[in-house]
């Protein structure tokens, strides 16, 4: 393919060098004459392992050149990658001025280009940036429509400084957000030889993925440091603790617990987070990340309560109120909090949970149910059908297999607040998922 790369900074230089080394014809575009001169002399404008030889070879073989002429670069390429900077502004927002400028330049060149051209954004931008900045700038400057007259994709990068070339060759995933399948197919040609999971998705989902990755990496560093600080204060080797922690790839380092939904509860997580924070205070430690966990969990409970109340109905049916499916454990169940709040607001409720119903008769939680929450126990019914018939708003509290077909039974005008996503295909009027 013929590729133009706008922005010869860190990401742009790595992309240009790697794509050229794969045999594609690459034109780098930048406003800095020093960078242009360095590339055209076969030298790297950045310091990065392996990049120098790649650029030298690609330039020698006439597969890589650099220019300041945006129009020429667009005309002599089939696909353009935008890799310009998106620095922070004082208030934390992104400065998309460079992105807007190059979009206007690319759009101006597209005015007189007949061939279908694909514009790919690799710059890191918040969700909505393609919709609100990139697409309007391209369409206004070109007089053409994205997804029809030219292609538009976002292709977030997952490059680490110091190992960027290796990361380009071995990415954890390749994510293509696309306006149309034709654009995605053209971009995919650049990654045909790369063995990595491929995801083709909506533009804004791809934008959000990059921020999710980076926020999670930041959380991991902060978490490890706070655990290390507690450990050191207790004369424990924090690195050894985290090495043992990381050996668990079933729960700790896995996709488990990484599905957005309702709040956590149960006999372990709230109690142990609370105890660890207490210990930190006793040691005079500041643990802002660990200290934020329970307040964050409380926010999710309050969000669920608001979602139910916002439906405007007084007759509420709840399916599942133990802290998770397959258990009768009600200790610190967020669903108990939700139910008690709704009762306090004067709502009428009927509740069904087969495991809790059995526990009320014979289980270990019988005393808790009969003495701690008798006002809730008295609202329990024998069947799902009773809840469905009674409720104007239906709340699904956990993912018991018994509830999988419930959404097919919802009647017109009946609202559903789904806190666990029992059906990934469900959407539309009357249905509200807490995080989707």
Instruction: List the catalytic residue out of 83, 103, 246, 268.
Output: 268
| CA distances, 138 to each of 107, 193, 392 (Å) | 5, 30, 47
Torsion of CA 231, 235, 238, 241, to 10 degrees: -90
- HEC assignment per residue over 387-431: HHHHCCEEEECCCCHHHCCHHHHCCCCCEEEECCCCCCCCCCCCE
The answer to whether residues 54 and 165 touch, using CB atoms and an 8 Å cutoff, is: yes
Beta bridge partners of 318: 351, 395
- 57: how many CB neighbours lie within 10 A of its CB? 15
Alpha-carbon dihedral 193, 195, 201, 204, rounded to 10 degrees: -100
Q: Exposed (0-12), middle (13-18) or buried (19+): which is 176, by Cβ within 10 Å?
A: buried
**CA proximity to 98, closest of 30, 34, 40:** 30
* Beta-carbon count within 10 A of 160 CB: 9
**C-alpha 89, offset from chain centre:** 23
Tell me which residue has tokens 């791809």: 206
d(Cα 428, Cα 16) in Å, to the nearest integer? 43
Strands (E), 118-231: 118-121, 151-154, 174-178, 198-201
Count CB-CB contacts under 10 A for residue 436: 12
Our answer to whether residue 435 is catalytic in this structure is no
Q: What amino acid positions are annotated as catalytic residues?
A: 268
């Amino acid at each position: 393919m013929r590729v133009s790369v706008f922005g010869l900074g860190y990401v742009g230089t790595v992309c240009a060098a790697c794509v050229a080394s794969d045999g594609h014809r690459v034109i780098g575009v930048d406003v800095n004459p020093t960078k242009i001169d360095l590339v055209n002399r076969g030298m790297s404008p950045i310091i990065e392992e392996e990049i120098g030889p790649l650029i030298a070879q690609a330039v020698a073989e006439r597969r890589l050149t650099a220019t300041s002429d945006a129009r020429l670069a667009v005309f002599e390429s089939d696909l353009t990658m935008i890799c310009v900077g998106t620095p922070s502004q004082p208030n934390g927002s992104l400065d998309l001025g460079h992105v807007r400028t190059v979009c206007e330049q690319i759009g101006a060149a597209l005015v007189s280009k007949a061939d279908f051209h694909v514009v790919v954004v690799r710059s890191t931008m918040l969700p909505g940036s393609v919709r609100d900045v990139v697409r309007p700038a391209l369409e206004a400057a070109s007089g053409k429509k994205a997804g029809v007259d030219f292609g538009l994709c976002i292709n977030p990068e997952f490059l680490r400084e110091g190992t960027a070339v290796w990361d380009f060759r071995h990415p954890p995933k390749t994510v293509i957000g696309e306006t149309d399948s034709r654009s995605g197919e053209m971009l995919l040609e650049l990654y045909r030889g790369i063995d990595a999971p491929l995801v083709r998705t909506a533009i804004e989902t791809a934008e959000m993925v990059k921020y999710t990755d980076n926020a999670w990496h930041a959380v991991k560093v902060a978490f490890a440091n706070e655990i290390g600080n507690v450990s050191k204060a207790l004369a424990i080797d924090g690195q050894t603790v985290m090495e043992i922690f990381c050996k668990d790839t079933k729960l700790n380092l896995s996709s488990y617990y990484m599905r957005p939904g309702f709040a956590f509860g149960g006999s372990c997580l709230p109690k142990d987070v609370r105890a660890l924070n207490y210990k930190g205070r006793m040691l005079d430690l500041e643990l802002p990340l660990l200290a934020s966990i329970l307040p964050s969990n409380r926010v999710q409970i309050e969000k669920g309560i608001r979602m139910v109340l916002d439906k405007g109905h007084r007759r509420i049916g709840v399916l599942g109120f133990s802290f998770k499916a397959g258990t009768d454990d009600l200790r610190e169940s967020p669903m108990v909090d939700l139910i008690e709040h709704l009762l306090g607001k004067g709502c009428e409720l009927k509740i069904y949970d087969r495991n809790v119903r059995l526990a009320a008769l014979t289980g270990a939680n019988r005393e808790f149910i009969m003495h701690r929450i008798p006002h809730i126990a008295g609202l329990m019914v024998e069947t799902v059908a009773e809840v469905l018939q009674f409720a104007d708003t239906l709340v699904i509290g956990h993912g018991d297999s018994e509830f999988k077909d419930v959404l097919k039974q919802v009647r017109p005008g009946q609202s559903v607040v789904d806190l666990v996503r029992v059906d990934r295909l469900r959407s539309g009027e009357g249905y509200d998922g807490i995080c989707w």
